[in-house]
Chains A and B, each alone.
Chain A
Amino acid sequence: MATEDDSAVKEPLDLIRLSLDERIYVKLRSDRELRGKLHAYDQHLNMILGDVEEVVTSVEIDDETYEEIVKTSKRHVQYLFVRGDGVILVSPPLRTS
């Protein structure tokens, strides 16, 4: 492995390809997270996800006690197109297998 051939080096997008048809975890802007099955993606990270759960996290601050109240809301969507510019991170979900 001393020689580094540019054409043989994998891109990060190649590694996402390994997750096709697998369930993945996606972190989006605006404190949103998705968990669903990756059906398709492109170089912009536009994605088609199936059987998706979206979690929206919001933090409220109590006016008197100033304590942080973390709230989450969830929804389930059967089929979802995700625009790539909102994507922060993609990862396989934590699995015990």
Chain B
Amino acid sequence: MSGGAGGGAVGSAKTPADFLKSIRGRPVVVKLNSGVDYRGILACLDGYMNIAMEQTEEYVNGQLKNKYGDAFIRGNNVLYISTTKRTLGD
């Protein structure tokens, strides 16, 4: 089974655990099973996919609904965590 199935954008990550370690501090998109989107800076996460984020924005049906300074998301609700090239107005 050869690697590189995902396009190889993050070439150094070999396992999901490596990926999770490598994305701390980056802007991410977290999609929940319910379809709600959360965009923010990933503070930390654990093996259950519990997530702590900063500057979090909540998008429902593509619309910004809420903003949270800090947010903790319970891992069982998480569908995926994705990095983004989000440009903040910093």
Q: Is the CB of A11 within 8 A of B50?
A: yes
Give chain B residues whose Cβ lies under 8 Å from the Cβ of A2. none
**Is B81 on the interface with A (CB-CB < 8 A)?**
no
- Total of A-B residue pairs, C-beta within 8 Å: 53
Cβ-neighbour of A10 out of B44, B68, B73, B74 (below 8 A) = B44
- A1-32 vs B, CB cutoff 8 Å, 1 = contact: the mask equals 00010000111110110000000010001000
- In the complex the two chains form, is B70's CB within 8 Å of A92's CB? yes
CA A45 to CA B21, docked complex, whole Å: 23
Chain A interface, DSSP helix/strand/loop, else mixed:
mixed
Find out whether the CB atom of B52 lies under 8 angstroms from the CB atom of A12: yes
Given contacts A12-B51, A13-B50, A15-B52, contact A89 B71 (CB under 8 A): yes
Contact between A88 and B77, CB atoms less than 8 A apart = yes
- Which residues on B are within 8 Å of A, measured CB to CB? 21, 32, 34, 38, 43-46, 50-52, 56, 67-74, 76-77
